[in-house]
Each structure stands twice: as C-alpha cells, then as structure tokens.
C-alpha cells in the first residue's frame, strides 16, 4: 500500500467513516492477494488465533499491498512491544491488540505502536519504511491502534479505554464478549439481551470519545446490521470458514437428488 493510500485509510478510520474488511487466518498469500483485490477497505491477518507465523504475516501483508486496494492490518498475539513492533515493521497499517482490560493496557498498546516522543517503538522499520517512509513522525501519523474489548474488565472500563490518548478505535471480539457477559459459548441465545446491551454500550463509548468502533462478524448481513447500529467498521468472517462453507455447499449440490439421479 502506498503512503497516500495508507494515510487516506487512517483518515477514514479516524473520521469514523464506515469501512468493511475481511479476516484471514490461513498462511495462503495467493488467496489473501485475491481477497485483497475484491474491494474490501482492509484485510486483517490474525496472528493471535490464526494459522500463520511471522513469515505468514509478512507474506500476507505483501500480498495485500500487491492489490493496491486494501489496507493490511494485523491482530497481534499479545499486547507487548515486540509483537506490535514486528507487525508494524512488516508493513501493517494498523494493529488490533487483544485482551485490553484497562486504560493502562490501552496506553501500553499505543506506546508500543508509536515512535518517540509519542511512544517507545524501537526503530527498525524494514518493510514499513517502503510504504510510509523512514521518518518516525510520518509513521506515527499513519499507524492505527485498536484495543479489543472482549473481557468483563474491558467492558467495565470501556469509557476509560476509549479516552486513551492516541488510541484510534476499539474492536469487539464477539466470541469472548459473549462469554464475558455470562454466555456458556459464543452465540449462546440465553444471553442475547446482555450481549446486545454490551454491544450498545461499547458503540456509545466510542462515539462519545470520538474514536472508531469496530467489530468482527460472521457474515456480510451481520456486518451491515452492526454498521446500522453505530459501528464504524466491521470485519467479515474468515477465509477458513468461507472455504469450508463453500466446499460443503458444492458437495451438497453435487449429492442432491437432481445430481445423483440415475439416467
């Protein structure tokens, strides 16, 4: 992604304009490149629960950038300097930081993503220097930081987290959030009311702070619903789940009555 596109994406997110992204968990750069050319605003690589290591993140970001369309983001595996710095050095436009429970956690994530004097990121930009340029101030201006709200503490402290200086947005992990509000499993219908109240609380906290509110969704229809409910950016499904769904749909079609009927 060129510096102009990266800066425009950062501007769009910070202006709370709507954006739709895609989630990738597979170490499959060719597939990621094809997805990145479809028109999504961003593609997020999952380095926390995804099936890709650092080389997969690096190759995935290069594949996304090859399309000159989508921004490459990374959900890092942990809230620390090394994990965040490596993702950004590899060329990520933004990082989604998991398990943020307090404003102090959010401040640590911002500090890890920003060069001094804004933060403590170590200088060694590697790929990101090609995309943004070698000046720390330019990188700081273009780098996005999102704190995940997915725990009981994160939900309780969401207003304080949203007020963290330098934080560009929050991002809901719906599976963990469902468990956080008492669900026995993600999607548990027994806590539907509590879950929806939590989603509303989170969106309102972000809006009050003037920062972006993002959320992961299982399908495009759910993504559209969340955007209508006040979320400003939303990510759709994942490459692995879509691969499985499409493969099964074709199998079911091939084994349908019409397909197996003897001639």
* Residue positions annotated with a catalytic role: 49
Q: Is the peptide bond before 91 cis (omega within 30 degrees of 0)?
A: no
Cα-only R_g, the chain: 19
Instruction: Work out the number of other CB atoms within 10 angstroms of the CB of residue 159.
Output: 15
Range list of H helices, 80-229: 81-89, 103-113, 128-131, 136-142, 152-156, 158-162, 174-180, 192-209, 220-228
**CA nearest 64: which of 213, 217, 239, 234?**
239
Would you report the helix, strand and coil content of the chain in percent, each value rounded to 5? 50, 15, 35
CA distance 113 to 120: 8
CA distance 52 to 30: 14
| 76 contacts 126 by C-beta, under 8 angstroms | no
CA distance 57 to 83: 11
| 123 contacts 85 by C-beta, under 8 angstroms | no
């Amino acid at each position: 992604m060129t510096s102009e596109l990266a800066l425009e994406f950062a501007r769009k997110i910070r202006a709370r304009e709507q954006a739709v992204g895609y989630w990738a968990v597979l170490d499959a750069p060719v597939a990621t490149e094809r997805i990145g050319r479809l028109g999504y605003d961003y593609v997020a690589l999952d380095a926390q629960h995804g099936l890709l290591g650092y080389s997969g993140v690096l190759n995935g970001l290069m594949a996304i950038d090859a399309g000159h369309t989508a921004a490459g983001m990374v959900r890092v595996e942990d809230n620390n300097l090394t994990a965040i710095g490596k993702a950004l050095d590899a060329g990520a436009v933004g990082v989604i930081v998991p398990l943020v429970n307090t404003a102090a956690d959010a401040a640590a994530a911002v500090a890890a993503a920003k060069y001094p004097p804004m933060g403590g990121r170590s200088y060694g930009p590697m790929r990101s220097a090609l995309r943004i340029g070698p000046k720390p101030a330019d990188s700081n201006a273009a780098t996005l930081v999102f704190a995940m709200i997915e725990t009981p503490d994160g939900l309780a402290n969401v207003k304080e987290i949203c007020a963290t200086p330098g934080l560009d947005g929050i991002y809901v992990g719906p599976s963990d959030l469902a468990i956080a509000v008492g669900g026995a499993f993600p999607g548990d219908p027994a806590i539907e009311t509590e879950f929806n109240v939590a989603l509303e609380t989170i969106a309102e906290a972000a809006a009050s702070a003037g920062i972006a509110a993002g959320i992961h969704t299982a399908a495009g229809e759910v993504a559209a619903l969340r955007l209508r409910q006040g979320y400003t950016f939303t990510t759709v499904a994942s490459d692995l789940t879509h691969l499985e769904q499409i493969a099964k749909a074709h199998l079911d079609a091939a084994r349908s009555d019409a397909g197996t009927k003897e001639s």
